[in-house]
Structure 1
Amino acid sequence: MCIHTLFSAWGAPSPEERAAKTDAAIGPNFYYSDPNAPDPIQGRDAYLDYIAQFSAMMPGATAKVVAVSEHHGHLRATVDFVKDGQRMMRGQYFADLAEHRLLRVIGFSGMGEPD
């Protein structure tokens, strides 16, 4: 599934591998909104720059989809960000799909637990 491929790029060791995985997962005019980014990220190149920053700041860290559900061209995924075998953060992502490609991915920190 494309959401697994997209997040596997976060732990890929080289820019070429990150690009190949990203290209396999996203559609045209890709949009990505992350709670840790100051603004939404528009397009493939900006997204690759963003995950390169993640790799530089947290060498060896990975992102792994641990749960996913899908209906009517939308999906929800739970993603763990892991470094040295320890979960650093868990997030929830919502996405729009077309032709098995991600068009829009919107992330939130945590699982939306009530305060």
Structure 2
Amino acid sequence: MSSSITRFFDTWGMTDATSCAAAVISVVSEDAYCADPSTPTSLNGVPSRVDHIAKMTASRPGSTIKVSDQSTHNDHAPATVDFIADGKLGMRGKQFADLNNEGNITRMVGFIGIGDGA
């Protein structure tokens, strides 16, 4: 079974708004907090996440995000994500998520790059 983080990032690139919203709702707590480098302020709650995903998907047609590495410890989950455009790796980022007892995302903070520079 895939993790809530993997299923969340599978929504990036979905063009059907209803399907995307249902998928996000299934893996994110209602009052989830998100700080993402692509937003000027934090996002709070499911509607703001769904709106942000729709905007990003519209601005990058055909692009997707895939989780390339993830671990979990005491309801905390770091994940490396690959931004794929035209079938090629565009950039890599790191996400840090907190999960509730059901394994759903309650908080996610993202960063561009994975800290592997010299």
The two structures have a TM-score, normalised by structure 1, of 0.95
Q: Secondary structure at the match of 2:6?
A: helix
Q: Secondary structure at the match of 1:111?
A: coil
Q: For residues 1-115 of structure 1, what are the structure 2 equivalents within 5 Å?
A: 1-98=3-100, 99-114=102-117
Structure number having the greater helix percentage: 1
Unaligned runs of 5+ in 2: none
Deviations along 1:13-39, whole A, 9 cap, x unmatched?
A: 211121111011111211111012100
Runs of at least 4 residues of structure 1 off by over 6 A?
none
Q: Secondary structure at the match of 1:70?
A: coil
Unaligned runs of 5+ in 1: none
User: Aligned pair count?
Assistant: 115
Give the residue type in structure 1 aligned to 2:16. Answer: S
Q: Distance in 1 between matches of 2:71 and 2:98?
A: 12
Q: 1:114 to 1:84 in 2, by over 3 A?
A: closer
The two structures have a TM-score, normalised by structure 2, of 0.93
Structure number having the greater strand percentage: 1
Q: Distance in 1 between matches of 2:55 and 2:15?
A: 12
Q: Distance in 2 between matches of 1:52 and 1:103?
A: 20
Identity, % of aligned pairs?
37
